[in-house]
Amino acid sequence: MAQLKAISPCSSTNLALHPHKRGSLLHNGKVFCPRNLSSFPELAARTSELHGHAIATTSNSGNVTKSHNNQVIQAILQSDRDIQISGAKKVRGLRGQLDKVVLAYSGGLDTSVIVPWLRENYGCEVICFTADVGQGISELEGLEKKAKASGASKLVVKDLREEFVRDYVFPCMRAGAIYERKYLLGTSMARPVIAKAMVDVAREVGADAVSHGCTGKGNDQVRFELTFFALNPKLNVVAPWREWDIRGREDAIEYAKRHNVPVPVTKKSIYSRDRNLWHLSHEGDILEDPASEPREDMYMLTVDPEKAPNEPEYVEIGIESGFPVAINGKRRSPATLLAELNKIGGRHGIGRVDMVENRLVGMKSRGVYETPGGTILFTAVRELESLTIDRDSMRLKDMNALTYAELVYAGRWFDPLRESIDAFMEKITETTTGSVRLKLFKGSVTVAGRRSPKSMYMQDLSSFEDSMMYDQADAAGFIRLYGLPTKVRSMLKRGF
Protein backbone atom coordinates (compact mmCIF):
# COMPACT_ATOMS: atom_id res chain seq x y z
CA MET A 1 0.00 0.00 0.00
CA ALA A 2 1.55 3.25 -1.05
CA GLN A 3 2.02 5.99 1.50
CA LEU A 4 0.85 9.44 0.48
CA LYS A 5 1.80 12.85 1.83
CA ALA A 6 1.47 16.36 0.48
CA ILE A 7 4.75 18.24 0.15
CA SER A 8 4.43 21.93 0.81
CA PRO A 9 5.99 24.05 -1.90
CA CYS A 10 9.58 24.99 -1.30
CA SER A 11 11.55 27.80 -2.81
CA SER A 12 13.45 27.11 -5.99
CA THR A 13 15.70 24.62 -4.20
CA ASN A 14 16.21 21.17 -5.68
CA LEU A 15 14.42 18.11 -4.36
CA ALA A 16 16.58 15.29 -3.04
CA LEU A 17 16.11 11.84 -1.59
CA HIS A 18 18.10 10.61 1.39
CA PRO A 19 18.24 7.24 3.16
CA HIS A 20 16.00 6.78 6.16
CA LYS A 21 13.65 4.24 7.65
CA ARG A 22 13.04 1.28 5.36
CA GLY A 23 9.79 1.32 3.42
CA SER A 24 8.74 4.80 4.43
CA LEU A 25 9.06 8.31 3.14
CA LEU A 26 7.77 9.72 6.39
CA HIS A 27 9.69 10.73 9.47
CA ASN A 28 7.70 11.83 12.51
CA GLY A 29 4.75 12.30 10.20
CA LYS A 30 6.57 14.68 7.89
CA VAL A 31 7.96 14.60 4.38
CA PHE A 32 10.72 17.12 3.98
CA CYS A 33 11.83 19.38 1.17
CA PRO A 34 15.46 18.66 0.26
CA ARG A 35 18.52 20.71 -0.53
CA ASN A 36 20.27 18.74 -3.21
CA LEU A 37 19.67 16.13 -5.82
CA SER A 38 23.21 15.11 -6.65
CA SER A 39 22.63 11.56 -5.36
CA PHE A 40 19.34 11.03 -7.22
CA PRO A 41 19.35 13.00 -10.49
CA GLU A 42 16.37 11.03 -11.80
CA LEU A 43 14.18 12.66 -9.18
CA ALA A 44 15.35 16.19 -9.83
CA ALA A 45 12.63 18.72 -10.28
CA ARG A 46 12.56 22.41 -9.57
CA THR A 47 9.65 23.39 -7.37
CA SER A 48 9.19 26.35 -9.65
CA GLU A 49 8.06 23.77 -12.20
CA LEU A 50 5.66 22.14 -9.74
CA HIS A 51 3.25 24.96 -9.01
CA GLY A 52 1.41 24.40 -5.75
CA HIS A 53 1.73 21.05 -3.97
CA ALA A 54 3.55 17.94 -5.10
CA ILE A 55 2.73 14.38 -4.12
CA ALA A 56 5.20 11.69 -3.01
CA THR A 57 4.29 8.00 -2.86
CA THR A 58 6.07 4.73 -2.20
CA SER A 59 5.06 1.24 -3.21
CA ASN A 60 6.02 -2.19 -1.97
CA SER A 61 8.35 -2.61 -4.91
CA GLY A 62 10.45 0.27 -3.68
CA ASN A 63 9.35 2.61 -6.49
CA VAL A 64 9.04 6.27 -5.65
CA THR A 65 6.65 8.51 -7.55
CA LYS A 66 6.26 12.27 -7.29
CA SER A 67 3.43 13.80 -9.33
CA HIS A 68 1.73 17.10 -9.91
CA ASN A 69 -0.70 18.13 -12.62
CA ASN A 70 -0.15 14.84 -14.43
CA GLN A 71 3.62 15.31 -14.26
CA VAL A 72 5.25 12.16 -12.93
CA ILE A 73 8.87 11.49 -12.11
CA GLN A 74 9.68 7.91 -11.24
CA ALA A 75 12.83 6.24 -9.98
CA ILE A 76 13.73 2.73 -8.95
CA LEU A 77 15.50 2.71 -5.62
CA GLN A 78 18.00 0.11 -4.55
CA SER A 79 16.20 -2.52 -2.55
CA ASP A 80 18.56 -2.16 0.38
CA ARG A 81 18.31 1.62 0.66
CA ASP A 82 15.65 3.64 2.39
CA ILE A 83 14.70 7.14 1.45
CA GLN A 84 13.77 10.39 3.03
CA ILE A 85 12.93 13.61 1.31
CA SER A 86 14.94 15.89 3.53
CA GLY A 87 15.63 19.53 4.13
CA ALA A 88 12.39 21.06 5.38
CA LYS A 89 14.23 24.34 5.57
CA LYS A 90 17.30 25.58 3.81
CA VAL A 91 20.36 25.05 5.95
CA ARG A 92 23.83 26.33 5.32
CA GLY A 93 26.44 23.66 4.86
CA LEU A 94 26.80 20.47 2.87
CA ARG A 95 24.29 19.25 0.30
CA GLY A 96 23.33 15.74 -0.50
CA GLN A 97 23.96 12.42 1.22
CA LEU A 98 27.25 11.90 3.01
CA ASP A 99 28.93 8.53 3.34
CA LYS A 100 31.50 8.80 6.14
CA VAL A 101 32.33 11.75 8.35
CA VAL A 102 35.45 12.06 10.50
CA LEU A 103 34.53 14.07 13.59
CA ALA A 104 37.05 15.86 15.81
CA TYR A 105 35.96 14.29 19.07
CA SER A 106 36.82 15.26 22.62
CA GLY A 107 34.09 13.42 24.48
CA GLY A 108 32.75 16.72 25.76
CA LEU A 109 29.22 18.00 25.44
CA ASP A 110 29.41 19.52 21.98
CA THR A 111 31.10 16.68 20.13
CA SER A 112 29.05 14.06 21.98
CA VAL A 113 25.76 15.43 20.69
CA ILE A 114 27.19 15.98 17.21
CA VAL A 115 27.53 12.21 16.66
CA PRO A 116 23.77 11.45 16.69
CA TRP A 117 23.03 14.76 14.99
CA LEU A 118 25.25 13.86 12.03
CA ARG A 119 23.65 10.45 11.71
CA GLU A 120 20.17 11.92 11.85
CA ASN A 121 20.78 14.75 9.45
CA TYR A 122 23.18 13.22 6.95
CA GLY A 123 22.51 9.50 7.22
CA CYS A 124 26.24 8.90 7.48
CA GLU A 125 28.67 6.74 9.34
CA VAL A 126 30.54 8.74 11.97
CA ILE A 127 34.18 7.99 12.75
CA CYS A 128 35.33 9.86 15.83
CA PHE A 129 38.91 11.10 15.94
CA THR A 130 40.81 12.15 19.03
CA ALA A 131 44.30 13.63 18.99
CA ASP A 132 46.54 13.21 22.01
CA VAL A 133 48.29 16.56 22.20
CA GLY A 134 49.01 16.27 25.90
CA GLN A 135 45.60 17.06 27.33
CA GLY A 136 46.07 14.41 30.00
CA ILE A 137 45.23 10.75 30.40
CA SER A 138 42.02 11.54 32.27
CA GLU A 139 40.55 13.19 29.17
CA LEU A 140 41.34 10.12 27.04
CA GLU A 141 39.99 7.43 29.36
CA GLY A 142 36.70 5.87 28.33
CA LEU A 143 36.45 7.79 25.07
CA GLU A 144 35.93 4.77 22.84
CA LYS A 145 33.04 3.49 24.92
CA LYS A 146 31.53 6.95 25.05
CA ALA A 147 31.92 7.53 21.29
CA LYS A 148 30.23 4.25 20.43
CA ALA A 149 27.47 4.91 22.96
CA SER A 150 26.82 8.16 21.12
CA GLY A 151 26.46 6.30 17.83
CA ALA A 152 29.94 6.40 16.29
CA SER A 153 31.16 3.37 14.39
CA LYS A 154 34.62 3.63 15.93
CA LEU A 155 37.15 5.93 17.58
CA VAL A 156 40.60 6.63 16.16
CA VAL A 157 43.21 8.00 18.58
CA LYS A 158 46.62 9.28 17.47
CA ASP A 159 49.48 10.35 19.71
CA LEU A 160 50.57 13.70 18.26
CA ARG A 161 52.52 15.01 21.25
CA GLU A 162 56.00 14.88 19.77
CA GLU A 163 54.85 16.19 16.40
CA PHE A 164 52.89 18.96 18.06
CA VAL A 165 55.81 20.23 20.14
CA ARG A 166 58.55 19.65 17.54
CA ASP A 167 56.79 20.92 14.40
CA TYR A 168 54.36 23.52 15.76
CA VAL A 169 55.26 24.73 19.27
CA PHE A 170 59.02 25.05 18.82
CA PRO A 171 58.84 26.91 15.47
CA CYS A 172 56.43 29.43 17.04
CA MET A 173 58.72 29.85 20.02
CA ARG A 174 61.78 30.24 17.78
CA ALA A 175 59.90 32.95 15.89
CA GLY A 176 59.04 34.77 19.12
CA ALA A 177 55.36 34.65 18.17
CA ILE A 178 53.13 36.24 20.83
CA TYR A 179 49.63 37.40 19.98
CA GLU A 180 48.63 40.82 21.32
CA ARG A 181 51.56 41.04 23.75
CA LYS A 182 50.49 38.15 25.98
CA TYR A 183 49.03 35.08 24.30
CA LEU A 184 51.51 32.28 23.61
CA LEU A 185 49.16 30.68 21.06
CA GLY A 186 48.50 27.39 22.82
CA THR A 187 45.17 26.57 21.18
CA SER A 188 46.13 28.24 17.91
CA MET A 189 49.12 25.93 17.43
CA ALA A 190 47.21 22.77 18.34
CA ARG A 191 44.35 23.12 15.87
CA PRO A 192 46.36 22.71 12.64
CA VAL A 193 48.15 19.56 13.84
CA ILE A 194 44.78 18.06 14.83
CA ALA A 195 43.12 19.07 11.56
CA LYS A 196 46.05 17.69 9.58
CA ALA A 197 45.65 14.34 11.32
CA MET A 198 41.90 14.40 10.56
CA VAL A 199 42.67 14.79 6.86
CA ASP A 200 45.00 11.80 7.12
CA VAL A 201 42.33 9.70 8.85
CA ALA A 202 39.72 10.73 6.29
CA ARG A 203 42.01 9.42 3.57
CA GLU A 204 42.68 6.20 5.47
CA VAL A 205 38.99 5.34 6.05
CA GLY A 206 37.69 6.73 2.76
CA ALA A 207 35.62 9.51 4.33
CA ASP A 208 34.07 12.19 2.16
CA ALA A 209 33.63 14.74 4.94
CA VAL A 210 35.06 16.06 8.19
CA SER A 211 33.30 17.77 11.06
CA HIS A 212 34.15 19.78 14.17
CA GLY A 213 32.36 21.12 17.21
CA CYS A 214 33.53 24.72 17.00
CA THR A 215 30.95 27.44 17.50
CA GLY A 216 30.23 30.11 14.93
CA LYS A 217 31.56 32.77 17.29
CA GLY A 218 35.07 31.46 17.83
CA ASN A 219 38.43 31.28 16.13
CA ASP A 220 38.77 27.49 16.03
CA GLN A 221 36.25 27.02 13.21
CA VAL A 222 38.57 29.06 10.99
CA ARG A 223 41.69 27.21 12.12
CA PHE A 224 40.21 23.79 11.41
CA GLU A 225 38.66 24.65 8.08
CA LEU A 226 41.62 26.55 6.64
CA THR A 227 43.72 23.48 7.33
CA PHE A 228 41.14 21.27 5.61
CA PHE A 229 41.14 23.63 2.61
CA ALA A 230 44.92 23.64 2.42
CA LEU A 231 45.44 19.87 2.69
CA ASN A 232 42.36 18.45 0.94
CA PRO A 233 40.02 20.99 -0.62
CA LYS A 234 37.74 18.21 -1.89
CA LEU A 235 36.62 17.22 1.60
CA ASN A 236 33.17 18.39 2.63
CA VAL A 237 33.06 20.20 5.96
CA VAL A 238 30.16 19.98 8.40
CA ALA A 239 30.00 22.60 11.15
CA PRO A 240 26.89 21.74 13.21
CA TRP A 241 27.01 24.87 15.35
CA ARG A 242 26.40 26.89 12.17
CA GLU A 243 23.55 24.65 11.05
CA TRP A 244 21.50 23.18 13.86
CA ASP A 245 18.80 24.66 16.08
CA ILE A 246 20.83 24.21 19.25
CA ARG A 247 21.68 27.70 20.41
CA GLY A 248 23.68 27.14 23.54
CA ARG A 249 24.96 24.70 26.12
CA GLU A 250 21.57 24.39 27.79
CA ASP A 251 19.97 23.24 24.53
CA ALA A 252 22.85 20.84 23.91
CA ILE A 253 22.45 19.26 27.34
CA GLU A 254 18.75 18.75 26.76
CA TYR A 255 19.45 17.26 23.33
CA ALA A 256 21.96 14.86 24.87
CA LYS A 257 19.46 13.75 27.50
CA ARG A 258 16.76 13.11 24.88
CA HIS A 259 19.15 10.95 22.86
CA ASN A 260 20.67 9.17 25.87
CA VAL A 261 24.11 10.54 25.02
CA PRO A 262 26.61 10.32 27.90
CA VAL A 263 28.17 13.72 28.56
CA PRO A 264 30.60 14.81 31.29
CA VAL A 265 28.93 18.11 32.12
CA THR A 266 25.82 19.34 33.83
CA LYS A 267 24.12 22.70 33.79
CA LYS A 268 26.26 23.66 36.78
CA SER A 269 29.56 23.39 34.89
CA ILE A 270 31.07 26.83 34.55
CA TYR A 271 34.35 26.88 32.61
CA SER A 272 35.20 26.05 29.03
CA ARG A 273 38.74 24.69 28.93
CA ASP A 274 41.27 23.65 26.32
CA ARG A 275 44.37 21.77 27.38
CA ASN A 276 47.46 20.51 25.61
CA LEU A 277 51.15 20.12 26.43
CA TRP A 278 51.78 23.82 25.92
CA HIS A 279 48.97 25.36 27.96
CA LEU A 280 45.58 25.24 29.63
CA SER A 281 42.99 27.90 28.80
CA HIS A 282 39.93 28.93 30.80
CA GLU A 283 36.88 30.81 29.51
CA GLY A 284 33.31 31.42 30.62
CA ASP A 285 31.36 32.09 33.80
CA ILE A 286 32.80 34.99 35.86
CA LEU A 287 35.62 35.42 33.35
CA GLU A 288 33.10 36.90 30.93
CA ASP A 289 33.16 39.97 33.16
CA PRO A 290 36.61 41.53 32.60
CA ALA A 291 36.31 43.30 35.96
CA SER A 292 36.08 40.02 37.89
CA GLU A 293 39.17 38.45 39.41
CA PRO A 294 39.61 34.75 38.59
CA ARG A 295 38.94 32.33 41.40
CA GLU A 296 42.00 30.53 42.70
CA ASP A 297 40.28 27.14 42.47
CA MET A 298 40.02 27.61 38.70
CA TYR A 299 43.75 27.04 38.12
CA MET A 300 44.88 23.48 37.45
CA LEU A 301 48.51 23.59 36.29
CA THR A 302 50.00 26.23 38.55
CA VAL A 303 49.97 26.88 42.28
CA ASP A 304 49.13 30.26 43.70
CA PRO A 305 52.41 32.24 43.45
CA GLU A 306 51.87 33.41 47.02
CA LYS A 307 51.86 29.77 48.14
CA ALA A 308 54.80 28.72 45.97
CA PRO A 309 58.06 27.60 47.66
CA ASN A 310 59.87 30.24 49.64
CA GLU A 311 63.17 29.24 48.06
CA PRO A 312 63.92 29.87 44.37
CA GLU A 313 64.72 27.06 41.96
CA TYR A 314 67.32 27.33 39.23
CA VAL A 315 66.94 25.57 35.90
CA GLU A 316 69.28 25.53 32.90
CA ILE A 317 67.89 25.20 29.39
CA GLY A 318 70.10 23.93 26.57
CA ILE A 319 69.29 25.32 23.13
CA GLU A 320 70.45 24.43 19.62
CA SER A 321 69.60 26.72 16.67
CA GLY A 322 66.68 28.23 18.54
CA PHE A 323 65.16 24.91 19.68
CA PRO A 324 65.37 23.73 23.32
CA VAL A 325 67.06 20.33 23.65
CA ALA A 326 68.04 19.83 27.30
CA ILE A 327 67.16 20.56 30.93
CA ASN A 328 70.00 20.85 33.40
CA GLY A 329 72.37 19.19 30.97
CA LYS A 330 70.09 16.22 30.22
CA ARG A 331 68.79 15.90 26.66
CA ARG A 332 65.08 15.31 26.27
CA SER A 333 62.67 14.82 23.39
CA PRO A 334 60.55 17.92 22.67
CA ALA A 335 57.39 16.60 24.35
CA THR A 336 59.23 15.13 27.33
CA LEU A 337 61.20 18.35 27.85
CA LEU A 338 58.06 20.48 27.83
CA ALA A 339 56.16 18.13 30.14
CA GLU A 340 59.00 18.23 32.67
CA LEU A 341 59.16 22.02 32.59
CA ASN A 342 55.39 22.21 33.10
CA LYS A 343 55.83 20.43 36.41
CA ILE A 344 58.78 22.58 37.45
CA GLY A 345 57.12 25.85 36.44
CA GLY A 346 53.75 24.83 37.82
CA ARG A 347 55.00 24.35 41.36
CA HIS A 348 56.42 27.88 41.29
CA GLY A 349 53.27 29.51 39.91
CA ILE A 350 54.90 30.37 36.59
CA GLY A 351 52.99 31.33 33.44
CA ARG A 352 49.61 32.73 34.44
CA VAL A 353 48.14 35.19 31.94
CA ASP A 354 44.78 36.99 32.15
CA MET A 355 43.95 38.87 28.97
CA VAL A 356 41.22 40.33 26.81
CA GLU A 357 41.98 39.49 23.20
CA ASN A 358 40.56 40.40 19.82
CA ARG A 359 39.10 37.33 18.18
CA LEU A 360 39.49 36.83 14.48
CA VAL A 361 35.73 37.07 13.99
CA GLY A 362 35.69 40.60 15.36
CA MET A 363 34.61 40.42 18.99
CA LYS A 364 36.67 40.73 22.14
CA SER A 365 36.88 37.83 24.56
CA ARG A 366 38.55 37.20 27.88
CA GLY A 367 40.64 34.17 28.63
CA VAL A 368 42.97 33.05 31.37
CA TYR A 369 45.93 30.91 30.34
CA GLU A 370 48.36 28.73 32.24
CA THR A 371 51.61 28.15 30.33
CA PRO A 372 54.28 27.23 32.89
CA GLY A 373 56.79 25.33 30.75
CA GLY A 374 56.17 27.55 27.73
CA THR A 375 56.89 30.71 29.70
CA ILE A 376 60.20 29.27 30.88
CA LEU A 377 61.22 28.24 27.36
CA PHE A 378 60.17 31.52 25.78
CA THR A 379 62.27 33.43 28.28
CA ALA A 380 65.29 31.17 27.73
CA VAL A 381 65.27 31.46 23.93
CA ARG A 382 64.80 35.22 24.01
CA GLU A 383 67.66 35.68 26.46
CA LEU A 384 70.02 33.56 24.37
CA GLU A 385 69.15 35.55 21.25
CA SER A 386 70.45 38.66 23.01
CA LEU A 387 73.91 37.11 22.65
CA THR A 388 73.67 35.69 19.14
CA ILE A 389 71.58 38.06 16.98
CA ASP A 390 72.68 41.53 15.86
CA ARG A 391 70.58 44.65 16.21
CA ASP A 392 69.16 44.94 12.68
CA SER A 393 68.40 41.23 12.49
CA MET A 394 66.69 41.37 15.89
CA ARG A 395 64.55 44.29 14.82
CA LEU A 396 63.45 42.53 11.64
CA LYS A 397 62.84 39.31 13.54
CA ASP A 398 60.63 41.09 16.06
CA MET A 399 58.65 42.75 13.28
CA ASN A 400 58.08 39.43 11.52
CA ALA A 401 57.19 37.79 14.81
CA LEU A 402 54.06 39.93 15.01
CA THR A 403 52.94 38.83 11.55
CA TYR A 404 53.84 35.23 12.32
CA ALA A 405 51.71 35.29 15.48
CA GLU A 406 48.75 36.80 13.65
CA LEU A 407 48.95 34.16 10.92
CA VAL A 408 49.01 31.34 13.45
CA TYR A 409 46.20 32.88 15.48
CA ALA A 410 44.11 33.18 12.32
CA GLY A 411 44.59 29.52 11.38
CA ARG A 412 46.91 30.13 8.46
CA TRP A 413 49.56 27.62 9.48
CA PHE A 414 49.85 26.14 5.99
CA ASP A 415 49.89 29.55 4.34
CA PRO A 416 52.95 30.22 2.14
CA LEU A 417 53.52 33.49 4.00
CA ARG A 418 53.92 31.74 7.35
CA GLU A 419 56.17 29.14 5.78
CA SER A 420 58.32 31.87 4.23
CA ILE A 421 58.64 33.74 7.51
CA ASP A 422 59.49 30.47 9.21
CA ALA A 423 62.33 29.94 6.74
CA PHE A 424 63.65 33.38 7.69
CA MET A 425 63.37 32.52 11.39
CA GLU A 426 65.25 29.28 10.88
CA LYS A 427 68.07 31.12 9.12
CA ILE A 428 68.30 34.01 11.53
CA THR A 429 68.45 31.72 14.59
CA GLU A 430 70.94 29.16 13.26
CA THR A 431 73.59 30.60 15.62
CA THR A 432 71.24 30.67 18.62
CA THR A 433 72.97 27.82 20.39
CA GLY A 434 74.00 27.69 24.02
CA SER A 435 72.37 27.59 27.44
CA VAL A 436 70.43 29.89 29.72
CA ARG A 437 70.17 29.63 33.49
CA LEU A 438 66.87 30.87 34.93
CA LYS A 439 65.65 31.61 38.44
CA LEU A 440 62.06 30.60 39.26
CA PHE A 441 60.48 32.21 42.28
CA LYS A 442 56.84 32.82 43.22
CA GLY A 443 55.47 33.35 39.72
CA SER A 444 58.49 35.09 38.21
CA VAL A 445 61.16 33.96 35.76
CA THR A 446 64.41 35.91 35.74
CA VAL A 447 67.62 35.22 33.90
CA ALA A 448 70.59 34.21 36.05
CA GLY A 449 73.10 33.58 33.29
CA ARG A 450 73.55 32.88 29.57
CA ARG A 451 76.36 31.51 27.45
CA SER A 452 76.87 30.62 23.80
CA PRO A 453 79.76 29.42 21.63
CA LYS A 454 78.33 31.71 18.93
CA SER A 455 78.02 34.73 21.19
CA MET A 456 78.59 38.18 19.67
CA TYR A 457 79.20 39.56 23.13
CA MET A 458 82.90 40.33 23.77
CA GLN A 459 83.66 41.24 27.35
CA ASP A 460 86.83 43.21 26.63
CA LEU A 461 85.00 45.19 23.93
CA SER A 462 82.04 45.99 26.18
CA SER A 463 84.18 46.85 29.19
CA PHE A 464 84.71 50.47 30.25
CA GLU A 465 88.40 49.74 30.06
CA ASP A 466 90.40 50.65 26.94
CA SER A 467 90.20 48.17 24.09
CA MET A 468 92.37 47.53 21.06
CA MET A 469 89.25 47.19 18.91
CA TYR A 470 87.48 50.37 19.99
CA ASP A 471 88.83 53.89 20.19
CA GLN A 472 86.41 56.05 22.16
CA ALA A 473 87.51 59.10 20.18
CA ASP A 474 85.90 57.58 17.08
CA ALA A 475 82.51 58.14 18.67
CA ALA A 476 82.68 61.87 18.02
CA GLY A 477 82.73 61.49 14.25
CA PHE A 478 80.06 58.81 14.37
CA ILE A 479 77.73 61.05 16.38
CA ARG A 480 78.23 63.98 13.99
CA LEU A 481 77.30 61.86 10.98
CA TYR A 482 74.50 59.95 12.66
CA GLY A 483 72.97 63.12 14.08
CA LEU A 484 73.35 65.20 10.90
CA PRO A 485 69.64 64.98 9.85
CA THR A 486 68.58 66.02 13.34
CA LYS A 487 70.93 68.99 13.26
CA VAL A 488 69.78 70.09 9.77
CA ARG A 489 66.07 69.95 10.73
CA SER A 490 66.76 72.06 13.79
CA MET A 491 68.65 74.64 11.74
CA LEU A 492 65.82 74.92 9.20
CA LYS A 493 63.25 75.29 11.95
CA ARG A 494 65.18 78.14 13.48
CA GLY A 495 65.95 79.89 10.19
CA PHE A 496 69.71 79.36 10.31
Burial label for 490, CB within 10 Å (0-12, 13-18, 19+), is exposed
User: Is 110 one of the catalytic residues?
Assistant: yes
Residues 436 and 471 in one domain: no
pTM of the model: 0.78
Classify residue 31 by its DSSP letter. -
CB distance 323 to 174 below 8 Å: yes
Residues 191 and 286 in one domain: no
User: CATH number for the domain including 322?
Assistant: 3.90.1260.10
Integer CA distances (angstroms), 277 to 133, 137, 342, 414, in order: 6, 12, 8, 21
Residues 440 and 482 in one domain: no
User: Is 471 one of the catalytic residues?
Assistant: no
Residues 294 and 328 in one domain: yes
> 353 lies in a domain?
yes
Distance between CA atoms of 354 and 348, rounded to whole angstroms?
17
Residues 153 and 238 in one domain: yes
Q: What pLDDT sits at residue 21?
A: 37
> 347 lies in a domain?
yes
What domain range includes position 78?
3-85
Q: Mean of the pLDDT values across residues 310-330?
A: 98
Residue of 82, 110, 274, 422 with catalytic role: 110
Q: What pLDDT sits at residue 87?
A: 36
Q: What is the pLDDT of residues 389-408, one digit of tens each?
A: 999 999 999 999 999 999 99
Residues 230 and 285 in one domain: no
User: CA 269: distance to chain centroid?
Assistant: 22
CB distance 131 to 156 below 8 Å: no
Residues 142 and 258 in one domain: yes
Q: What pLDDT sits at residue 117?
A: 94
Residues 203 and 142 in one domain: yes
User: Is 354 one of the catalytic residues?
Assistant: no
CB distance 457 to 431 below 8 Å: no
Q: How many domains does the chain have?
A: 4
Residue 460 has pLDDT above 90, yes or no: no
Distance between CA atoms of 476 and 459, rounded to whole angstroms?
23
Residues 35 and 171 in one domain: no
> 418 lies in a domain?
no
Q: What is the pLDDT of residues 260-270, one digit of tens each?
A: 887 655 445 57
Residues 319 and 363 in one domain: yes
> 411 lies in a domain?
no
User: CATH number for the domain including 183?
Assistant: 3.40.50.620
> 167 lies in a domain?
yes
